[in-house]
Structure 1
Amino acid sequence: MDKQKKVITNRVAFLDKKVPFYASFVGILGLLILWEIISRIGIVSPLFLPAPSEIIVTGWQMLVSGEIYGNLTASLYRIVIGYAIGSVLGIIFGLILGFFKLADAVGTPIVYSIYPIPKIALLPLFILWLGIGELSKVTIIALGVFFPVVINTFSGVKSVDPMLVKAAVTFGSNRVNVIRKVILPGSLPMIFAGLKLAAGTSLLLLVSAEMIAAQEGIGSMVLHYGNLMITSKLMVGVLILSLLGLTFNRGLKWLENRLIPWKE
């Protein structure tokens, strides 16, 4: 019996064992070293896969010259505004669709019928309506962000325990207070899941829109150097996009831990 308890204790301890904070960095470092070796010994031509050290040097040169600054500023402007608008509208509409039965009956079929449409396919239409300037790009990003957020918010509202809602109403809470103090806190885990999913979608739409209809931006820069076959500068753009995605993810994770301390 004691032996069986010891085995069970060891299994539980294995599940609870914390991974060292540097484990992720070791994995990335190992991948970069392998990449460097493959490029340096000529297994893959530098034209197709430049070494990480070459990409870093090229990126520094582009940063010093100011080339990265202009493209990065243009991309950040588009993605921040588009993401903010899409997220706010997605959360509001998700709460409405999930809480009010009439809104659910009318709005949910519309959301689910439009959601499968590839949003980048609508860009030419938005350019026709809104022009080739910033508004069409911001709108396509906001639209792409809206749907994952509204669907996850809707699912979060539906997952809230109905007994909590009934208890709040019984104690005299009006609809606004029920949404603010019961529905919204209970939906936050699903809302953040939608926000994280939408972050990746927003980057994808940003790059696609800039490749199609922009003279400035990271997506436009990647396409330009791809056409010129200057792979090192192309990879600098890819690296910047990767860092943007990582920053989005870490920022949302930090905000989630602050707003949902009970999740852990």
Structure 2
Amino acid sequence: MSEQRQVITNRVAFLETKIPSYAAVLGIACLLVLWEIVCRMEIVPPLFLPAPTAILTAAWDMIASGELYKDLVASLYRIGVGYAIGAALGVLAGLILGFSRWTDAIMTPIVYSIYPIPKIALLPLIILWMGIGEMPKVAIIALGVFFPVVINTFSGVKNVDPMLIKAAVTFGSNHLNVIRKVILPGSLPMIFAGLKLSAGTSLLLLVSAEMVAAQEGIGAMVLHYGNLMITTKLMVGVLILSLLGLTFNRVLQWLERKLIPWK
């Protein structure tokens, strides 16, 4: 028994071991060094895989010329507005669907029937409705963000302990207070899961929309330099998208720690 307890204790200690904060940076640094070595040894032709140093040089040139700033601002505006609108509407709709049985019965089948449709396929129709400009690109991002958020919020509301809701009603809470003090806090973990999932979706839709119907933006820049086969500048756009995805994830994790300290 003592040996078995020791084994269990060792396993628990291993699971609870704190990972150093620099582990992620170390992993990325090792990847970049390996990438640079592969390119320096010309294992892969520079046209197909430029070295990180060459990409950084190209990025500096694009920053100095102002080209990168213009494209980055355009993309950040589209994804910021689209994500905010889609997330806000998704959380609101998910709370309503989860709290109201009538709304659940009527609207949930509609949500689940529209969700599998590739949102970028709707871009030509949205352009027809809204015209050429920023609104179609913002709308397609908002649409792509809306569905993962509403589905996760709906699931979070359904997983709230019904005894907590009954207790709140018993003590005289109205519907608004039940949603604000019981349902919303209880469903926050699932809401943040939907927000994280939709962050990646928003980047995919941003790039797709800018490649199809934009003159400025990171997606348009990647397509332009891809057509010209200038892979160093193409990779600048790819790395910026990667950094945006990482930044969104870190910001959402920080908000999750602040809003859900018990998790």
Pick the TM interval, shorter chain: over 0.9
* Residue pairs, 1:1-264, within 5 angstroms: 1-263=1-263
Distance across 2 between alignment mates of 1:141 and 1:228: 27
CA distance in 2 between partners of 1:241 and 1:93 (Å): 29
Matches of 2:111 and 2:2, distance apart in 1: 57
Question: What amino acid is the match of 2:94?
Answer: G
Residue identity matched to 1:203 = L
Q: Distance in 2 between matches of 1:14 and 1:146?
A: 39
Note the C-alpha offset of 1:226. 0.2
Name structure 2 gaps, 5 residues minimum: none
Distance in 1 between residues matched to 2:48 and 2:195, nearest whole Å: 34
Structure 1 gap segments, 5+ residues each: none
Mapped to 2, the partners of 1:86 and 1:8 lie a distance apart of 46
Residue type matched to 2:116 in 1? Answer: P
Count of aligned positions = 263
Letter in 2 for 1:20: P
Identity of aligned residues (%): 76
RMSD: 0.8
State the Cα deviation string for residues 124-165 of structure 1 (Å, max 9, x = none): 001111111001100000000000000000000000000000
Shift of 1:209: 0.3
Amino acid at match of 2:237: G
Alpha-carbon separation, structure 2, partners of 1:115 and 1:82: 17
Question: TM-score scaled to structure 1, two decimals?
Answer: 0.98
Give the SS at the match of 2:18.
coil
Report the Cα offset of residue 14 of structure 1.
Answer: 1.1
Higher mean C-alpha deviation, range 23-32 or range 164-173: 23-32
Query: Aligned-pair distance for 1:6?
Result: 2.3
State the secondary structure of the residue aligned to 1:216.
coil
User: Per-residue CA shift, 1:37-87, capped at 9, x if unaligned?
Assistant: 111111100001000011011101111111110000000110000000000
Between the aligned partners of 2:139 and 2:124, the Cα distance in structure 1 is 12
The aligned amino acid for 2:39 is: S
SS of structure 2 residue aligned to 1:19: coil
In 1: Cα distance, 2:90 partner to 2:12 partner:
40
Aligned-pair distance for 1:8? 2.2
SS of the residue corresponding to residue 19 of structure 2 reads: coil
Q: Which is worse superposed, 57-66 or 144-153?
A: 57-66
Deviations 1:230-259 (A, max 9, x none): 000000000111111111000000001000
Regions of 4+ moved over 2 Å = 1-8
Pairwise CA distance, 1:27: 1.4
Q: How far has the Cα of 1:107 moved from its partner?
A: 0.5
- Partners of 2:7 and 2:207 in 1: CA distance: 52
> Alpha-carbon deviation of 1:24?
1.5
CA shift digits 1:174-229 (9 cap, x unpaired)? 00000000000000000000000000000000000000000000000000000000
Q: Secondary structure at the match of 1:42?
A: coil
TM-score by length of 2: 0.99
SS state at 2:117 partner: coil
* SS of aligned partner of 1:43: coil
